[in-house]
Every structure is written in structure tokens, then in C-alpha cells.
Amino acid sequence: MRSEAGTVTAYLKELPADRRAALEHLRALIERAAPKAKASMKYGLPSWDWNGPLFALTAQKHYLELYVAEADLVAARKKTLGDVEVGKSSIRFKRLADLNLESVAALLEAAAARRR
């Protein structure tokens, strides 16, 4: 969902409670993995940059999505991420419970490690 919100927090407040909770959980994982990344709104999506684009989140009509700029890391962990659809650098899921959060956290850590 593209948004006119000016901040990540404002974007999340626009969402229904269940979707907001899922993306807030991912936001916490992102900020734990990459505390130096700068959060902002880009192209209507919550985004985190650290030496270039690194992560983004979105709530679409039928799914939620996490973008990780390190596409090779996403591909390497594809089978461990849970009941999800994986694109080149995106992970699509319907509910937070569909994700293997341990594997997602490891992916975020590995992507952030490349930016240090």
C-alpha cells in the first residue's frame, strides 16, 4: 500500500491492527539487525538505508512484503523462510505466523553485516 504518510510510524498507524502488529514486529527485527540504518518513507513505503537501500516493508491488499536489497542472501535462504513466496529480493506472506522468524532475523543480520 503506497502511503502519503511522512514517517514509518505514521504508515504503521494507518494499518489494521493485525497487519500493523506484523510489520511492527519486522520493524523491530530490522532495527535490531541494522541500528545504524536510517528509516524513512520512500515511494510510499517504509524503508531503511545504510550505505544505500537495505530494507523496505509494505502492506498490499492480499499480502505483506519484506524487501531485502541483498538478493543473493534472500535466494540462499529461500527454503528456510517459511510459508512464503520469494521474489528476487522480496518475501511475501499473509500472516506473521507464516514466517520462520529465526531465519528472517538471520537474513536481516547477514544483509546488515554487508553494510558495516
pTM score, whole prediction: 0.95
Say if residues 48 and 33 touch (Cβ distance below 8 Å).
no
Contact between 12 and 27 (Cβ < 8 Å): yes
The length of the chain, given as a count of residues: 116
Nearest by Cα to 102 from 80, 79, 76, 74: 80
The domain 8-113 is classified under which CATH number: 3.40.190.10, 3.90.1150.200, 3.40.50.300, 1.10.240.10? Answer: 3.90.1150.200
User: What are the pLDDT tens digits along the chain (116 aa)?
Assistant: 678 899 999 999 999 999 999 999 999 999 999 999 999 999 999 999 999 999 999 999 999 999 999 999 999 999 999 999 999 999 999 999 999 999 999 999 999 999 98
Q: What is the DSSP letter of 99?
A: B
Domain boundaries, the chain: 8-113
